[in-house]
């Protein structure tokens, strides 16, 4: 009897663990993938999202199950070449660049649109092949804030704005505002269903048509409350519209609707989660009286009746040994540059199996440094490490590994008066402070940074090693903070910049990322 009971308990525990590991859990992606827009084409899902001041921009992802996504493309390589995008003449586009995008599929063509306060323009990218391209770009002014595209009966509409939501018609190919069209106010105060004490007016429009009715999703933020989903419904796109508060839980909001091939509905939304950024959630949807009802009893569930989440490595982030075959792209899609790169100053061919970063000018601020090569951090914990050859640094050069946001941390090698030192810098106080400096007699070193995002701990630590095996902590913990000037989750970054004489270079042997903290 006792043996039978023990076996039963073991089987029950195994069954519970099996269920845990074979069911999706929120967040769907524990990484900074904000402002997702999703479409389904057949049995494949495609999404676009926001990376603002990173280039290439507007990342495109693909999934077969709504849970596990991988990068397949970007809508653009370069948004513009003005000073703010190039980090020239003291100008930047931190926290701006391109914002919330919209993705649609119409007449065998994929459309991805976005807007930019940096350039003052709205952009529409089109392609027949979303995975391989090429993309055609059209742009026009003004910059239509948080807009959604909608195609119907040969006409193309764009809804945009904050609180007062407006409609404008585009040309049939969505390449420009239709000549002679006039803006129309659709909803005078789209925040109204959430009350009259509003901190953030309704924005983030995403429009859908289901069973002959129009549904407009927006986000708003009551003062003293949390991000909230608002839905308006109408029988005609021009209205009249009736609205209701659709979800108010955990601050999970902003997104829209998606259905599966078997007719199951979900809302895709995101949640502000501290320093890792804005992370995507899926919320079950039921239809009642012609309205989408979000959540389970009004709450965002932890578990979903979908396939289990796999690691974000290598679909969203990935290690890179910097070895390339002739047929390989120079940089895998997981990498993005901070602002536009200077392509003359980086190379994967000058030294086989290494990324070389060469300084091209003198910089006094890390925010102005060109060619910081970045990829996302991921939660709940992660580690990034690299091995660098610093034998060709010049006086005033500083090269290494960063966790990058406005309040960044750095670990690297500084060359001063012919002497190399391992240095840890913290900008936790909004200003960079050198925390620790250790003499370095070798020409190569291993560097590492770890992140703890569990329960929004947002703690980073930095390490170095002379042999890649024995690691020593350097400096102090960095309390990471999500700041609005950068409006982005922390990123791992490889960097090299000069404060004295340009022309020095550093060779990175690899970058490796793990979904755990490695001490």
pLDDT in tens, 194-207: 999 999 999 999 99
In 347-420, which ranges are continuous DSSP H helix? none
Q: Which of 26, 58, 99, 484 is nearest to 251 (CA)?
A: 26
CA distance 342 to 363: 14
**140 falls in which pLDDT band (50, 70, 90)?**
very high
**22 falls in which pLDDT band (50, 70, 90)?**
confident
CB 378 within 8 A of CB 31: yes
Q: Residue 391 pLDDT > 50, yes or no?
A: yes
Averaged pLDDT for residues 68-88: 97
pLDDT in tens, 449-478: 999 999 999 999 999 999 999 999 999 999
> What backbone phi and psi angles, to 5 degrees, belong to 7?
-60, -40
CA distance 322 to 104: 35
> Domain ranges in the chain?
36-304, 336-514
Q: Residue 7 pLDDT > 50, yes or no?
A: no
The two tokens of residue 383 are 């580690």
Contacts of 343 (CB under 8 A, 6+ apart): none
CA distance 473 to 457: 19
CB 284 within 8 A of CB 296: yes
- When mean pLDDT is compared across 17-26, 264-273, 373-382, 389-398, the lowest value belongs to 17-26
Q: What is the pLDDT of residue 21?
A: 58
Q: What is the pLDDT of residue 14?
A: 36
Q: What is the pLDDT of residue 190?
A: 97
Angle, vertex CA 285, rays to CA 45 and CA 146, nearest 5: 60
> What backbone phi and psi angles, to 5 degrees, belong to 484?
-70, -30
pLDDT in tens, 349-372: 999 999 999 999 999 999 999 999
Terminal-to-terminal C-alpha distance of the chain: 46
CA distance 113 to 127: 12
**CATH pick for 336-514 out of 2.40.30.60, 3.40.50.1580, 2.40.160.60, 2.60.120.200:** 2.60.120.200
Q: Residue 8 pLDDT > 60, yes or no?
A: no
CA distance 96 to 40: 29
CA distance 311 to 302: 17
Lay out the sheet containing 57-63: strands in order across. 37-41, 44-48, 57-63, 69-76
Q: pLDDT > 90: what percent of the chain?
A: 95
Pairing status of strand 397-404 against strand 381-389: unpaired
pLDDT in tens, 422-448: 999 999 999 999 999 999 999 999 999
Which residue bears the tokens 């039921």?
286
The two tokens of residue 361 are 């000018």
Lay out the sheet containing 278-288: strands in order across. 253-259, 265-272, 278-288, 291-294
Q: Residue 114 pLDDT > 50, yes or no?
A: yes
**What's the CATH number for 36-304?**
2.115.10.20
Q: pLDDT > 70: what percent of the chain?
A: 96
**211 falls in which pLDDT band (50, 70, 90)?**
very high
CA distance 397 to 360: 11
Does the global pTM surpass 0.85? yes
Q: Which of 436, 430, 422, 437 is nearest to 405 (CA)?
A: 430
Contacts of 445 (CB under 8 A, 6+ apart): 387, 388, 390, 413, 422, 464, 465, 466
Q: What is the pLDDT of residue 15?
A: 35
């Amino acid at each position: 009897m006792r043996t039978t009971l023990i076996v039963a308990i073991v089987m029950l525990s195994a069954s519970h663990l099996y269920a845990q590991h074979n069911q999706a859990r929120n967040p769907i992606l524990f990484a900074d993938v904000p402002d997702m827009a999703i479409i389904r084409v057949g049995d494949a899902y495609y999404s676009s999202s926001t990376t603002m001041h990173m280039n290439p921009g507007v990342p495109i992802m693909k999934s077969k199950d709504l849970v596990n996504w991988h990068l397949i493309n970007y809508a653009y390589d370069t948004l513009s070449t003005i000073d703010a995008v190039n980090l020239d003449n003291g100008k930047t586009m931190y926290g701006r660049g391109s914002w919330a995008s919209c993705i649609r599929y119409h007449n065998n063509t994929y459309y991805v649109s976005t807007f930019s306060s940096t350039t003052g323009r709205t952009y529409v990218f089109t392609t027949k092949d979303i995975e391989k391209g090429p993309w055609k770009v059209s742009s026009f002014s003004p910059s239509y804030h948080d807009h959604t595209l909608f195609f119907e009966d040969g006409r193309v509409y764009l809804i945009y704005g904050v609180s007062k939501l407006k409609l404008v018609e585009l040309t049939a190919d969505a390449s420009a505002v239709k000549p002679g069209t006039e803006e129309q106010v659709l909803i005078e105060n789209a925040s109204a269903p959430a009350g009259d004490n509003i901190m953030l007016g309704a924005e983030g429009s995403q429009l859908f048509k289901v069973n002959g009715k129009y549904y407009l999703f927006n986000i708003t933020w009551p003062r003293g409350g949390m991000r909230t989903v608002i839905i308006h419904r109408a029988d005609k796109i021009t209205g009249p519209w009736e609205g209701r508060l659709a979800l108010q839980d955990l601050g999970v909001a902003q997104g829209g609707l998606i259905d599966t091939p078997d007719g199951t509905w979900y809302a895709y939304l995101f949640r502000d989660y501290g320093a890792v950024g804005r992370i995507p959630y899926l919320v079950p949807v039921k239809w009642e009286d012609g309205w989408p009802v979000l959540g389970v009893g009004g709450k965002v569930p932890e578990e979903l009746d979908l396939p289990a989440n796999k690691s974000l490595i290598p679909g969203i982030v990935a290690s890179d040994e910097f070895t390339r075959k002739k047929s390989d792209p120079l940089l895998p899609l997981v990498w993005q540059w901070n602002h536009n790169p200077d392509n003359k100053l980086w190379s994967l061919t000058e030294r086989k199996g290494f990324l070389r970063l060469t300084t091209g000018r003198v910089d006094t601020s890390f925010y102005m440094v060109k060619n910081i090569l970045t990829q996302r951090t991921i939660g709940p914990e992660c580690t990034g490490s690299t091995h660098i050859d610093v034998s060709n640094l010049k006086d005033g050069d500083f090269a290494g590994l960063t966790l990058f946001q406005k309040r960044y941390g750095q670990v690297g090698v500084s060359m001063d008066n012919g002497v190399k030192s391992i240095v840890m810098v913290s900008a936790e106080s909004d200003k960079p402070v050198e925390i620790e400096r250790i003499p370095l007699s070798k020409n190569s070193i291993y560097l590492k940074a770890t992140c703890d995002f569990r329960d929004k701990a947002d703690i980073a630590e930095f390490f170095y090693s002379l042999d890649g095996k024995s690691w020593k902590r350097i400096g102090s913990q960095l309390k990471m903070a999500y700041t609005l000037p950068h409006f982005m989750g922390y990123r791992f970054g490889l960097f090299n910049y000069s404060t004295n004489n340009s022309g020095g270079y550093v060779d990175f042997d690899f970058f490796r990322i793990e979904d755990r903290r490695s001490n």
